[in-house]
Amino acid sequence: MKKTILAAITLLLMAAPAYAAPSVNGSTGLINTPSADVLQEGQFSLGYYHLKDGGVGSFTMNVTGKLEVGAAGFRYDSDSSQENHTYVNAKYGLLPETVLTPGIAVGVEDIANVDKRTAYVAASKALPFGFRIHAGVGNGRYDGVFATLEKTINPVGILTGNNVFPATTLIAEWDGHTMNYGARLAVVPGLKMDVGRRDHQTYFGASFTY
Average pLDDT, the chain: 88
* Cβ-based neighbour number of residue 190 at 10 Å: 17
pLDDT single digits (tens) 190-205: 999 999 999 999 999 9
* Cβ-based neighbour number of residue 167 at 10 Å: 18
Prediction pTM value: 0.86
End-to-end CA distance of the chain, in Å?
40
Please report the pLDDT score of residue 91 as a whole number: 98
pLDDT single digits (tens) 169-192: 999 999 999 999 999 999 888 999
Give the mean pLDDT of 40-47: 94
Give dist(CA 30, CA 35) in Å, integer.
7
Strands (DSSP E) found in 20-84: 44-51, 54-62, 67-76
- Tell me if 94 sits within 8 A of 106, measured CB to CB: yes
pLDDT at 87 over 50: yes
| All structural domains of the chain | 2-209 (2.40.160.40)
Q: Which band of pLDDT confidence, cut at 50, 70 and 90, is reported for residue 51?
A: very high
Give dist(CA 60, CA 126) in Å, integer.
23
Q: Which band of pLDDT confidence, cut at 50, 70 and 90, is reported for residue 79?
A: confident
pLDDT single digits (tens) 93-141: 999 999 999 999 999 999 999 999 999 999 999 999 989 999 999 999 9
Give the mean pLDDT of 19-42: 93
